Amino acid sequence: MKIGILGGGQLGGMLIRHAIDFGLRISVMDKDANAPCARYTSSFTLGSPTSYEDVLNFGKGLDVITIEMEAVNIDALRELEKQGVKVFPRPDTIAVIQDKYTQKQFLLSHNIPVVPGVAVDNKNDLLKLENKLPGCLKKRRDGYDGYGVMVLKTAADIEKAFDAPSVLEELVDIKNEIAVIVGRNEQGEVKCYDPVMMVFSEEKFVLEFQEAPAQIDEAIRNEAFALAEKIADALQLVGILAVEMFITRDGKLIVNELAPRPHNSGHHTIEASTTSQYEQLLRAILGLPLGDTSLRFPSLMMNILETEALSIDRQGKFHRLLEVPGAHLHWYGKKGIRLGRKVGHITITDNTIEGTLAKADTIRKILN
Amino acid sequence: MKIGILGGGQLGGMLIRHAIDFGLRISVMDKDANAPCARYTSSFTLGSPTSYEDVLNFGKGLDVITIEMEAVNIDALRELEKQGVKVFPRPDTIAVIQDKYTQKQFLLSHNIPVVPGVAVDNKNDLLKLENKLPGCLKKRRDGYDGYGVMVLKTAADIEKAFDAPSVLEELVDIKNEIAVIVGRNEQGEVKCYDPVMMVFSEEKFVLEFQEAPAQIDEAIRNEAFALAEKIADALQLVGILAVEMFITRDGKLIVNELAPRPHNSGHHTIEASTTSQYEQLLRAILGLPLGDTSLRFPSLMMNILETEALSIDRQGKFHRLLEVPGAHLHWYGKKGIRLGRKVGHITITDNTIEGTLAKADTIRKILN
């Protein structure tokens, strides 16, 4: 089986990690010759996942094509599907999700609660929506890791707003943010991973850590599963989908955003779950039975962002970090140094949640 | 860091799996362009690990070179070391181990109990050793997976014996066979994995399954650790070493064989241990602290040998196999079909040893 991945970042790298388990041949296309994946395949293509020509050429001769990013050329994927290449997730699924407003409308049409929001075409449109502030402005397309998201508190903030098609969302009074990863195969089998709790630092939109299992009520947990499964079915998903949800102060669950691909809210599944999200994706797109999603022990995931301290003493910090038992380093090996960039993550495992939190404290001190 | 692996088989593939976690660049040399590793690196060299020229050319420009097989050219590795490339395990360590008789003499010189054996140069030599039969004849070099090993019951068997430098070993009255993987880094830090128990089928030398933890007395367990650590120190090991040991009927531990590289007795560490043997090897050769070797839960490892039944209905069997929760498939993706060849393995995890045995029964039925 020849499998292609559009996008060659760390998510693709972790997917290759698990493709090795099944002896699969993986081809990768990315617009950066130094993408993390490029060194882990004999079949790397330099090209843009958003280019019709590039995607079409890349896909010819593959058995299955999948994604590790949403910003891909849907028309080319539809054409490849016509030519007999399996495209999972389906082009229609990606198309719905890659535009944050279309995504919201789709969910609403299936009676899924979402964060209320209105579409704007440009900065000028925002001027007519002063009465909707404060709000959260998100670019309709291509946002990731906090890029393409900003809070507009007052009309004065509109000046520095994105001048691009965006969604202005209500600021929801959030108690917690959780995420569920759901897998679904062509036969319609569906399986969810336990919700993870996302804990953000005071500077908004920067994830401090993620905990699994999320410490939430059983009722909310079951509702989160039901929502994730309903969305997977509605999307006719083949693959995996991250469903980010808010738990409001009054205990309601509403969907924040979807990602139809491996997602950082599933990083911990490599070490802490019976089947990793990456293996689950491979199982789903190859028509294999979905794997057991049980969480084996508590885990905590922290991103590593490039800092000056880290760039100066990387070896020393890694050395001390790797002395912590159950600290699993994932270093993405990105080229060059750009402060603030996500360059790795650490999954911490322990027999207790308290144990993971204590180790996280130790590691935070080492990294800073 | 640029790391090279001599040998491109499944062990190298699993090493790449874990090299992705540290963002490392891996180069591989193998004499087969279709070696399992070849598809998981952008830096594959076709060449023979036993050729002086090939190894020398491959090693130039690498920071560290390691092995996934013992049959490598020691002279070239010594030359590379002189040129400043780190070679781990050290050429001297590999040289001692790659010859089964030298290995035995080395262990004896360090007062390590071994299976008694005498060296023979060829078939003729055996005729003078009739009084030592029955015995186990092993080629001094290049045996693996039961190849290069045979039992000689009577003088009549000598006719079909290997006509090559070999060791004729006494047949030991074995109660159990266990293995310990030990890691050691340049700083001299040493860590052992829990012993695994190897269970063989009635046709000799074919492993039926491996259990971790081995159900053995605490005293034997501690003695096994002490032996493994003593050997690692004696060899000035930098890397990992599998120490296969026999427990005799009268409760003594004696060393059977060594392998200074990732080994099938550590396959289960991917899923069942905090740090896999592959990550441990990378930590050891990069001068990083060794990882926690704790066993997280019981596991059982079964090799998959190519059979006619498997070659006819591979997809169907995989499908049923992957329905078993906690059955972790590792399919090596070897090219072509050769009956009896090792083509993959399955690690089974469960919360109890009984659970792993029950799942193993299910899987054995599926594969046959």
Q: Which residues contact A334 (CB under 8 A, 6 or more apart)?
A: A10, A34, A36, A341, A343, B23
Which of A289, A294, A328 is the closest to B323 by Cβ? Answer: A289
Mean pLDDT lowest for which of A358-367, B142-151, B270-279, B353-362? B142-151
**Greater confidence, A202 or A307?**
A307
Q: Write the pLDDT tens digit of every residue in B18-74.
A: 999 999 999 999 999 999 999 999 999 999 999 999 999 999 999 999 999 999 999
B40 contact A CB<8A: yes
Q: Do the annotations mark residue A359 as ligand-binding?
A: no
Q: Return the number of CB contacts < 8 Å for A and B.
A: 103
B264-297 pLDDT, tens per residue?
A: 999 999 999 999 999 999 999 999 999 999 999 9
Give the whole-number percent of chain A exceeding pLDDT 90. Answer: 92
Q: Are A178 and A196 in contact (CB under 8 A)?
A: yes
What region, left, alpha or beta, does residue A26 occupy, with left being phi > 0 and alpha being psi -120 to 50 degrees?
beta
Listed residue (A258, A242, A245, A240) closest to A189, CA to CA: A240
Amino acid in position B176:
N
Q: Is the dihedral of CA A28, A31, A35, A39 positive or negative?
A: positive
Residues 6+ apart with CB under 8 A from B66: B3, B4, B5, B6, B15, B87, B88, B89, B239, B261, B281, B285
Task: Extract the tokens encoding A172.
Answer: 């929801």
B253 forms beta bridges with: B247
CB contact B21 to A (< 8 Å)? yes
Supply the pLDDT for residue A201.
79
Please, which residues bridge with residue A324 across strands?
none
Give A178→chain B minimum CA distance, Å: 25
Q: What angle do CA A210, A216, A221 make, to 5 degrees?
A: 100
Give the residue carrying structure tokens 């308290």: A354
A289 touches chain B (CB under 8 A): yes
Sign of CA dihedral A325, A331, A337, A340: negative
Cα–chain-centroid distance for residue B227?
Answer: 18
Residues near B124 by Cβ (< 8 Å), separated by ≥ 6?
A: none
* Token pair in block for residue B226: 């002490």
Chain B closest CA to A221's CA: distance in Å? 22
pLDDT in tens, A215-231: 999 999 999 999 999 99
DSSP labels, A48-69: -TT-HHHHHHHHTT-SEEEESS
Give the Cα separation of B145 and B140 in Å (integer).
14
pLDDT digit string (tens) for B6-31? 999 999 999 999 999 999 999 999 99
A169 carries a ligand binding annotation? yes
Contact B267, B302 (CB under 8 A): no
What interface predicted TM-score (ipTM) does this complex get? Answer: 0.95
Q: In which residue are the tokens 């090279």 written?
A: B4
B205 touches chain A (CB under 8 A): no
Task: Please tell me if residue B331 touches chain A, with a CB cutoff of 8 Å.
Answer: yes
CA distance A238 to A285: 6
Enumerate the residues of chain B whose CB falls inside 8 A of the CB of residue A16.
Answer: 20, 40
Q: Which of A23, A39, A296 has its CB closest to that of B25?
A: A39
Q: Flag if A21 and B326 touch (Cβ within 8 Å).
A: no
pLDDT given for residue A344 in this prediction: 97
Q: Residue A204 has what pLDDT? A: 57
Instruction: Tell whether residue A73 is among the known ligand binding residues.
Output: no
**Which one-letter amino acid corresponds to residue B350?**
D
Is residue A185 marked as binding? no
Q: Is A191 annotated as a binding residue?
A: no
**Distance, CA of A227 to CA of A256 (rounded, Å):** 12
Average of pLDDT values for A185-209? 89
C-alpha separations of B157 from A284, B140, B152 in Å: 53, 19, 5
Contact A44 B42 (CB under 8 A): yes
Question: What residues contact residue A195 under an 8 Å CB cut-off, 6+ apart?
Answer: A178, A179, A180, A212, A213, A214, A216, A221, A224, A245
Q: Do A333 and B26 touch (CB under 8 A)?
A: no
Query: Within an 8 Å CB–CB cutoff, is residue A323 touching chain B?
Result: yes
Q: Is A20 on the interface with B (CB under 8 A)?
A: yes
B123: contact with A, CB 8 A cutoff: no
Cβ-based contacts of A267 with chain B (< 8 Å)? none
Cis peptide before B36 (omega within 30 of 0): no
Determine whether the interchain pair B23/A332 forms a contact, defined as Cβ–Cβ distance below 8 Å.
yes
- Would the annotation count B308 as a binding residue? no
Q: Is A349 on the interface with B (CB under 8 A)?
A: yes
